Amino acid sequence: MGITLGPNQYGKAEVRLVTVDREGPVHHLKDLTVSTSLRGQLERTHLTGDNADVVATDTQKNTVYAFAAGGVGEIEDFALRLAEHFTGSFEHITGARILISEHAWNRIDVGGTPHDHAFSRPGGEERTTAVTLQDGKAWVVSGLTGLTVLKSTGSEFHGFPRDEYTTLAETDDRILATAVTARWRYSATSGIDWTLSFDEIRRTLLETFATKHSLSLQQTLYAMGEAVLEARPEVAEIRLAMPNKHHFLVDLSPFGLSNENEVFHAADRPYGLIEGTVLRDDEPADAAGLAWYSLPEF
């Protein structure tokens, strides 16, 4: 009975690539998930562990980032460039399959004008409410989840303490991205146009994220909550949970390329998780927390 190696391919799956075209004040984003698979004469590694024909998947990932340095263009062209590179550069690699999905971003509208460098991701968002009625008292806590936003400049993070475990570089220009979960407690349960209130709170959250120059996600969180309380008297309290969806600058210097805040690795996890409440100090607090008890996120 003979045993033989059948069809096979290998590569790096789901390379998360974000590029920012910052040539002018109006930034253009590309947000891609790229998977590479190479095919060819790969018997040696499978049968004996001799890797002389194996273009490391790490090299494939680096190639994706390096090729993005000059701009990605259309995903079809980018995929063709990569496929031609792998098959053209390595004798034993005779085929390549490149899969790319492009994730859409829309510009955030600020006062009816599309913002230069603040974006929101369409879809995935939910409007929520949690009504609690107990001992004759009622509370309405409404909110939203999955409001994914990104700004490609206007965000800094520095001045944090450094100890022997600190490696994070200080930055005065980074990508700031998050998926907002917001829950707000209304001060009344009647006489409120719920949809109008929701729409205005959502607009205020988006506009504040876009326009507030950020020194930390915590500062942005507070500014967003404060803006809602300033604009909407019917809201007594707002709680925000905002994951810091890290976008790490890719070091392209090993490939002789510079990276002027243009090519990023969009990390999945771990992520920072910033949570906070913004309150009115003259509003009777929901001291027992009955309105909030066992809500997701808080």
Ligand X SMILES: O=c1[nH]c(=O)c2[nH]c(=O)[nH]c2[nH]1
The residues facing 182 across adjacent strands are 144, 240
Specify the residue, 19 or 244, whose C-beta has the smaller distance to ligand X.
244
* 74 backbone dihedrals φ, ψ, rounded to 5°: -75, 145
108 vs 149: CA distance, rounded Å: 8
1-9, 132-140, 188-196, 212-220 -> range binding ligand X (CB under 6 A): 212-220
Query: What six digits make up the tokens of 136?
Result: 């004759």
Q: Quick one: which segment of 5-13, 193-201, 213-221, 263-271 binds ligand X (CB under 6 A)?
A: 213-221
Report the amino acid identity of residue 123. Answer: G
Q: Is 160 exposed, middle or buried (0-12, 13-18, 19+ CB in 10 A)?
A: exposed
Grouping H, G, I as helix, E, B as strand and the rest as coil, residue 111 is coil
Site string for ligand X, 127-166 (x = CB under 6 A): ------------------------------x---------
The upper half-sphere exposure of residue 297, i.e. CA atoms within 13 Å in the direction of its Cβ, equals 24
Cis preceding linkage at 233, omega within 30: no
Quick one: 72 or 210, whose CB is closer to ligand X?
210
Smallest separation (angstroms) from ligand X to the CB of 222: 12
**Of residues 19, 148, 208, 216, which one binds ligand X by CB under 6 A?**
216
47 binds ligand X per the rule CB under 6 A? no
Active-site residues, by number, are: 12, 57, 246
Binding mask 217-256 for ligand X (x = CB under 6 A): xx-------------------------x------------
**Which residues of the chain form contacts with ligand X (CB under 6 A)?**
157, 168, 216-218, 244, 272
